[in-house]
Amino acid sequence: IEPYNPDPETLEEGESATYAFENAVTGGRVPKEYIPSVDAGIQDAMQYGYLAGFPLVNIKATLEDGAYHDVDSSEMAFKLAGSQVFKEAMAKAKPVLLEPMMAVEVVTPEEYMGTVNGDISSRRGQVFAMEDRSGAKVVKAKV
């Protein structure tokens, strides 16, 4: 698992700008019919995210090795294996949830300052300035 940031102009038709899968298995250790199942398992795990259930993007996954059993192997088993190994890789990568921040300016009568500040705090925002403006209060914050 590694970051994936392709140049959109160099993408071939059908390629994703947010995900790439590479099969680097040699020697037939994983039968070709099971490789798409590993890919599907990884993509399923990406849809549900790792930290907060949001889809993950800009990821390249490379299948380097594996093993199969003539009796016990199935497409579903390889799909589950792809999903599980992706989750394990994400745990080792220590991902961070990125959230957008916006600058906010609220103009309000003074009697509503407590409500405005409380609302900003409830959204994990930070007030960085308060000003007076012609009988009203101006709250500047990042939310």
Question: Residue 125 sits in a domain of what CATH number?
Answer: 3.30.70.240
Confidence (pLDDT) at 76: 94
* 64 vs 74: CA distance, rounded Å: 19
Are 89 and 110 members of one domain?
no
Total domains in the chain come to 2
Calculate what percentage of the chain has a pLDDT beyond 90: 52
Q: How many helices (H) and strands (E) does the chain have?
A: 3, 6
Q: Provide mean pLDDT across the span 119-132.
A: 93
DSSP 8-state class, residue 8: G
SS3 73: coil
Confidence (pLDDT) at 132: 92
State both tokens at 2. 């590694």
Between 75-93 and 35-47, two packed helices, what is the crossing angle to 10 degrees? 50
Q: Residue for token digits 């059908």?
A: 14
**The pLDDT of residue 108 is above 70:** yes
Confidence (pLDDT) at 28: 79
Confidence (pLDDT) at 40: 95
pLDDT tens-place string over residues 14-54: 666 778 899 998 887 888 999 999 999 999 999 988 888 88
Confidence (pLDDT) at 100: 85
* 76 vs 85: CA distance, rounded Å: 14
Continuous H helices in the chain = 35-47, 75-93, 113-122
Largest CA distance in the chain: 80
Q: Which domain holds residue 88?
A: 2-93
The answer to the question of residue 98 being in a domain is no
The answer to the question of residue 137 being in a domain is yes
